[in-house]
């Protein structure tokens, strides 16, 4: 019999989730337990020494979370995955496994604002430097790379501006420099884009967004592409050098093409501690079962809303890669032809006050700071997330006074358009 490779929708439902061996439960149970009994002392020793597969303590592994991890690894086409308490925790653990004090990351300048903060400020206390490349110009990455660069980091589809990066081109740079290419695929999800197929070595997600998809659970994940040679340069001692935590074990040599996921787990998650709760793993896994259906509807709705806004007389501009006139339309057709996601920004005529009026007067859109929910969401960054910045800083960050961000949900699109229309109508011309 040939080994048929299941399709994406099949994997979204089945990967990682065989019926429960002890009860036959068809849905992966919520293993809401902190710890797991050992068979005997030798079994315990084998588990602690990483010589056997199995569970010790939910900070390190948990069967519900493991099912989620395997499912995301399968959907992204990776060798293994590690789930974390949030998307930010995934970023922390992934870079922790690559970086030593004095090392640097070359990152695209178009990233989620929280990630810009994390890289600019929090990581500085670890002695990790970030260098900002122009997301739309692959050559600008090359120019910033030096012998202490340990990773290139981009978002496949950047939050919030709808900027797409040229994954193939940046992957080629990373490969030629012998450094891993790390891609945050939160806004695209593997339904729209599978970065490993475009040369990514590591894929990160905030599972909080479209993967879970229902606005009810925080989570993050690190997917190991299994593609990077951690031993070749000697620059990744967490993987290539004997580890004192494990009596001199060398993780890359021991775990081969899923060593990065193991390193993030046994050196990062174990010691830094941002484990996801089994309950959240369960909810996110349930969400992923409908990812292909949801994501397509998110994109279809978003395109209709974007088209409508583009021709609206109270709207100055719309930035959505799904529109043929958009500068990123070409990259959208190349890297995520099924859709350009559901998060985008537009400029409302009348600036700051108009933006405030709009978010105040919507009835169906929820005014809050999140994306990737079944519900449609709206935010005016200048009066909320970016309030503390000067006007120049706001504009540079893509959060000028007129900018409104939408995350289009799964409601009837006519209702969404009607809600925006009535709220726009309240703005004084």
Ligand X SMILES: Cc1ncc(COP(=O)(O)O)c(C=O)c1O
Looking only at residues 8 through 37 of this chain, which bind ligand X when binding is defined by CB under 6 A?
none
Residue from 345, 344, 408, 405 nearest 376 by CA: 408
Q: Under a CB-based contact definition with an 8 Å cutoff, are residues 404 and 355 in contact?
A: yes
Closest to ligand X by CB, 149 or 280: 280
Nearest distance from C-beta of residue 103 to another protein, angstroms: 26
Q: Does the protein bind ligand X through residue 86 (CB under 6 A)?
A: yes
Positive or negative: CA dihedral 346, 349, 355, 358: negative
* Long-range CB contacts for residues 45-53, cutoff 8 Å, separation at least 24: 49/246, 49/247, 50/246, 50/249, 50/254, 50/262, 50/266
- Smallest distance, another protein to C-beta of residue 27, A: 12
User: Contact between 58 and another protein (CB under 8 A)?
Assistant: no
Helix (H) or strand (E) holding 193: none
Binding to ligand X in span 157-176, by CB under 6 A: 159
- Of these, 55, 58, 61, 186, which contacts ligand X (CB under 6 A)? 186
Residue 78 interacting partner from ligand X, another protein, none (CB closer than 5 to 8 Å by kind): another protein
| Residue 186 binding partner per list another protein, ligand X, none, with a CB distance cut-off of 5 to 8 Å that depends on partner kind | ligand X
Residue 53 binding target from ligand X, another protein, none, CB below 5 to 8 Å by type: another protein
Alpha helices in 50-182 (DSSP H): 63-76, 87-96, 113-120, 138-144, 167-177
Stretch that binds ligand X, among 13-21, 145-153, 204-212, 310-318 (CB under 6 A): 204-212
61: contact with another protein by CB under 8 A: yes
Give the C-alpha separation, 384 to 405, whole Å.
11
According to DSSP, the residues that pair with 333 across neighbouring strands are: none
CA geometry: angle at 150 spanning 145 and 155, to 5°? Answer: 85
Applying the rule CB under 6 A, the residues between 355 and 384 that interact with ligand X are: 371
Nearer to another protein, 62 or 115 (CB): 62
Is residue 110 involved in binding ligand X (CB under 6 A)?
no
Q: Is 109 in the site for ligand X (CB under 6 A)?
A: no
Asked if residues 355 and 346 have their Cβ atoms less than 8 Å apart, the reply is no
Q: How far apart (Å, rounded) are the C-alpha atoms in residues 192 and 292?
A: 9
Provide, rounded to whole angstroms, the least separation between the CB of residue 119 and ligand X.
11
| End-to-end Cα separation, the chain, in angstroms | 69
The DSSP secondary structure of 382-415, one letter per residue, reads: GGTTTTTS-HHHHHHTT--TTEEEEE--SS-HHH
> 97: closest CA among 200, 235, 194?
235
| C-beta of residue 221 within 8 angstroms of C-beta of residue 65 | no
- Residue pair 415/338 in contact (Cβ under 8 Å)? The answer is no
Q: Give the burial class of 404: count Cβ atoms within 10 A of its Cβ; 0-12 exposed, 13-18 middle, 19 or more buried.
A: buried
Binding partner of residue 81 among ligand X, another protein, none, CB cut-off 5 to 8 Å per kind: another protein
Of 284 and 315, the one with the shorter C-beta distance to another protein is: 284
Q: Which does 249 bind (CB under 5 to 8 A by kind): another protein, ligand X, none?
A: another protein
- Residues contacting ligand X: total by CB under 6 A: 17
Query: In the set 115, 281, 301, 407, which binds ligand X (CB under 6 A)?
Result: 115
CB atoms inside a 10 Å sphere around CB 232: 11
Binding mask 168-207 for another protein (x = CB under 8 A): ----------------------------------------
Residue number closest to ligand X, CB atom: 87
By CB under 8 A, the count of residues binding another protein is 52
Q: Does 184 bind ligand X (CB under 6 A)?
A: yes
Backbone angles phi, psi at 69, to 5 degrees: -60, -45
- DSSP β-bridge partners for residue 181: 152
Shortest separation between residue 266's beta carbon and another protein, angstroms: 10
Min CB(55)–another protein separation in Å? 6
For another protein, the binding residues in 246-275 under the rule CB under 8 A are 246-250, 253-254, 256, 258, 261-262, 265
202-206 and 343-348 strand pairing = unpaired
* Minimum gap (Å) between residue 188 Cβ and another protein: 20
Binding positions for ligand X, rule: CB under 6 A: 86-88, 112, 114-115, 155, 159, 184, 186-187, 206, 208-209, 218, 220, 371
Binding positions for another protein, rule: CB under 8 A: 1-4, 6, 10-11, 14-16, 18-21, 24, 26, 46, 49-55, 61, 63, 65-67, 69-70, 73-74, 78-83, 242, 246-250, 253-254, 256, 258, 261-262, 265
């Amino acid at each position: 019999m040939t080994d048929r490779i299941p399709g994406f929708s099949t994997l979204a439902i089945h990967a990682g989730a065989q019926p429960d061996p002890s009860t036959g439960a068809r849905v992966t149970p919520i293993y809401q337990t902190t710890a797991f009994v050992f068979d005997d002392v030798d079994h315990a020793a084998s588990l602690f020494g990483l010589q056997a597969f199995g569970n010790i303590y939910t900070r390190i592994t948990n069967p519900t979370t493991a099912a989620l991890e395997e499912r995301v690894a399968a959907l992204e086409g990776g060798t293994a995955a590690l789930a974390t308490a949030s998307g930010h925790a995934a970023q922390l653990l992934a870079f922790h496994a690559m970086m030593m004090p004095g090392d640097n990351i070359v990152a695209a300048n178009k990233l989620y604002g929280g990630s810009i903060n994390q890289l600019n400020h929090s990581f500085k206390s670890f002695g990790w430097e970030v260098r900002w490349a122009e997301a739309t110009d692959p050559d600008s990455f090359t120019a910033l790379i030096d012998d202490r660069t340990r990773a290139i980091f981009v978002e496949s589809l950047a939050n919030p501006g709808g900027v797409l990066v040229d994954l193939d081109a940046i992957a080629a740079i990373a490969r030629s420099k012998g450094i891993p290419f790390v891609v945050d695929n939160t806004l695209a999800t593997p339904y729209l884009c599978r970065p490993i197929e475009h040369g990514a070595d590591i894929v990160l997600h905030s599972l909080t967004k479209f993967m879970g998809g229902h606005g009810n659970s925080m989570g993050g994940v690190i997917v190991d592409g299994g593609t990077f040679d951690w031993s070749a340069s000697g620059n990744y001692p967490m993987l290539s050098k004997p580890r004192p935590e494990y009596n001199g074990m060398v993780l890359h040599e021991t775990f081969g093409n899923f060593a990065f996921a193991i390193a993030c787990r046994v050196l990062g998650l174990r010691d830094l501690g941002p484990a996801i709760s089994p309950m959240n793993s369960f909810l996110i896994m349930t969400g992923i079962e409908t990812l292909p259906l949801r994501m397509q509807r998110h994109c279809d709705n978003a395109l209709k809303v974007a088209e409508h806004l583009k021709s609206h007389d109270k709207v100055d501009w719309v930035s959505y890669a799904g529109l043929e006139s958009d500068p990123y339309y070409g990259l959208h057709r190349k890297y995520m032809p099924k859709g350009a996601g559901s998060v985008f920004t537009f400029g409302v005529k009348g600036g700051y006050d108009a933006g405030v009026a709009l978010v105040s007067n919507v009835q169906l859109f929820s005014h809050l700071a999140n994306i990737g929910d079944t519900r449609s969401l709206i935010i005016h960054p200048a009066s909320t997330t970016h309030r503390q910045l000067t006007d120049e800083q706001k504009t540079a960050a893509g959060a000028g006074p007129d900018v409104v961000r939408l995350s289009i949900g799964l409601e009837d699109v006519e209702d969404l358009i009607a809600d925006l229309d009535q709220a726009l109508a309240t703005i004084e011309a």
